[in-house]
Chains A and B, each alone.
Chain A
Amino acid sequence: MNVLPGFFFYLLSAIILGGAILTITRRNAVHSAIWLIVTLLGVAGIYLNQHAEFLAAVQVLVYIGGIMVLFLFVIMLVNLDEAAKQRQFNHQWTIAVGCALALMAELAYFIVKGRESFRFGDTGTGTLNPDAAVIEFLKSCRDIPGLGPGGFLQPNTELIACALYRDYLLPFEIASVLLLVAIVGAVVMAKKEI
Chain B
Amino acid sequence: MPLQLPAAFQPYFWPTIFILIIILVFPLVAGYIVLLERKVMADIQVRLGPMRVGPHGLLQPIADAVKLLIKEDIIPANADKWVFWLAPVISVTAAFVSFSVIPFSDKFYITDVNIGLLFITAVSSVGILGIILGGWSSNSHYPLLGALRSAAQLVSYEVALGFALIGGLMVASTLSMQGIVKAQLDAGMWFVFYQPVACFIYVVAALAETNRAPFDMPEAESEIVAGYHTEYSGFRFSLYFLAEYSNIVVVSAIAVTLFFGGWLRPFPNVQALDFLRYTPIIAMIVLAGLSFMGAGRESRPPEKIGMAGLGIVCLMLAGLFAMPAVLTWIQGLFWFSLKVALCIYGFIWVRFTFPRYRYDQLMNIGWHWLIPLAIANVIVTGIVMVLKGS
| Contact A76–B147 (Cβ < 8 Å) | yes
CA distance A30 to B139 in the complex (A): 13
| Contact B115–A57 (Cβ < 8 Å) | yes
Is there a chain B Cβ closer than 8 Å to A16's Cβ?
Answer: no
Q: Known: A30-B80, A69-B155, A142-B173. Is A153-B114 also a contact (CB below 8 A)?
A: yes
Is there a chain A Cβ closer than 8 Å to B122's Cβ?
Answer: yes
Residues of B near A61 (CB, < 8 A) are 118, 121-122, 125
Residues of A near B152 (CB, < 8 A) are 73
| Contact A69–B179 (Cβ < 8 Å) | no
Is there a chain B Cβ closer than 8 Å to A154's Cβ?
Answer: yes
CA distance A60 to B119 in the complex (A): 9
Is there a chain A Cβ closer than 8 Å to B330's Cβ?
Answer: no
| Contact B158–A65 (Cβ < 8 Å) | yes
Is there a chain B Cβ closer than 8 Å to A34's Cβ?
Answer: yes
| A residues 78-102 in Cβ contact with B at 8 Å | none
Q: What string of 1s and 0s marks CB contacts (under 8 Å) between A1-31 and chain B? A: 0000000000000000000000000001011
Residues of B near A144 (CB, < 8 A) are 174
Is there a chain B Cβ closer than 8 Å to A66's Cβ?
Answer: yes
Is there a chain B Cβ closer than 8 Å to A120's Cβ?
Answer: no
Shortest B163–chain A CB gap in Å is 13
Shortest B130–chain A CB gap in Å is 11
| Contact B83–A34 (Cβ < 8 Å) | yes
Residues of B near A70 (CB, < 8 A) are 151, 155
| Contact A157–B114 (Cβ < 8 Å) | yes
Shortest A168–chain B CB gap in Å is 20
- For chain B, the count of residues having a C-beta within 8 Å of the partner chain is 36
| Contact A30–B83 (Cβ < 8 Å) | yes
Is there a chain A Cβ closer than 8 Å to B126's Cβ?
Answer: yes
Size bin of chain A's contact surface:
20 to 34
CA distance A56 to B126 in the complex (A): 13
| Contact B126–A60 (Cβ < 8 Å) | yes
| B residues 114-137 in Cβ contact with A at 8 Å | 114-115, 118-119, 121-123, 125-126, 128-129, 132-133, 136-137
Residues of A near B137 (CB, < 8 A) are 30
Shortest A178–chain B CB gap in Å is 20
| Contact A155–B114 (Cβ < 8 Å) | yes
Is there a chain A Cβ closer than 8 Å to B113's Cβ?
Answer: yes
User: Which residue in chain A gives the minimum CB-CB distance to B113?
Assistant: A53
Q: Which of B119, B122, B174 contacts A65 (CB 8 A)?
A: B122
| Contact B128–A69 (Cβ < 8 Å) | yes
Q: How many A-B residue pairs have CB under 8 A?
A: 93
Is there a chain A Cβ closer than 8 Å to B176's Cβ?
Answer: yes
Residues of A near B155 (CB, < 8 A) are 66, 69-70, 73
Q: Known: A34-B83, A60-B123, A153-B176. Is A54-B129 also a contact (CB below 8 A)?
A: no
CA distance A54 to B176 in the complex (A): 12
CA distance A60 to B122 in the complex (A): 6
Q: Known: A57-B118, A69-B151, A69-B155. Is A76-B136 also a contact (CB below 8 A)?
A: yes
Q: Which of A56, A73, A141, A156 contacts B148 (CB 8 A)?
A: A73
CA distance A30 to B86 in the complex (A): 13
User: Which residue in chain B gives the minimum CB-CB distance to A64?
Assistant: B126
CA distance A17 to B224 in the complex (A): 40
Residues of B near A73 (CB, < 8 A) are 132, 148, 151-152, 155
| Contact A154–B129 (Cβ < 8 Å) | no
Q: Which of A28, A64, A141, A153 contacts B125 (CB 8 A)?
A: A64
Shortest A129–chain B CB gap in Å is 16
Q: Which of A31, A57, A69 contacts B122 (CB 8 A)?
A: A57
Residues of A near B147 (CB, < 8 A) are 76
| Contact A76–B144 (Cβ < 8 Å) | yes
| Contact B125–A66 (Cβ < 8 Å) | yes
Is there a chain A Cβ closer than 8 Å to B175's Cβ?
Answer: yes
| A residues 86-128 in Cβ contact with B at 8 Å | none
Shortest A187–chain B CB gap in Å is 12
| Contact B154–A69 (Cβ < 8 Å) | yes
Residues of A near B115 (CB, < 8 A) are 53-54, 56-57, 156-157
Is there a chain B Cβ closer than 8 Å to A183's Cβ?
Answer: no
| Contact A37–B122 (Cβ < 8 Å) | no
CA distance A129 to B278 in the complex (A): 45
Is there a chain B Cβ closer than 8 Å to A58's Cβ?
Answer: yes
| Contact A69–B132 (Cβ < 8 Å) | yes
Residues of A near B114 (CB, < 8 A) are 53, 153-157
Q: Name 22 A/B residue pairs within 8 A (Cβ), A-sorted.
A: A30-B83, A30-B136, A30-B137, A31-B82, A31-B83, A34-B83, A34-B86, A60-B122, A60-B125, A60-B126, A61-B125, A64-B122, A64-B125, A65-B158, A69-B151, A73-B132, A73-B151, A76-B132, A77-B148, A145-B182, A153-B176, A156-B114
Binding site for A on B (CB under 8 A): 80, 82-83, 86, 112-115, 118-119, 121-123, 125-126, 128-129, 132-133, 136-137, 144, 147-148, 151-152, 154-155, 158, 173-176, 179, 182, 390
Sample of 4 more A-B contacts, CB < 8 Å, known A53-B115, A64-B129: A34-B86, A70-B155, A73-B152, A142-B173
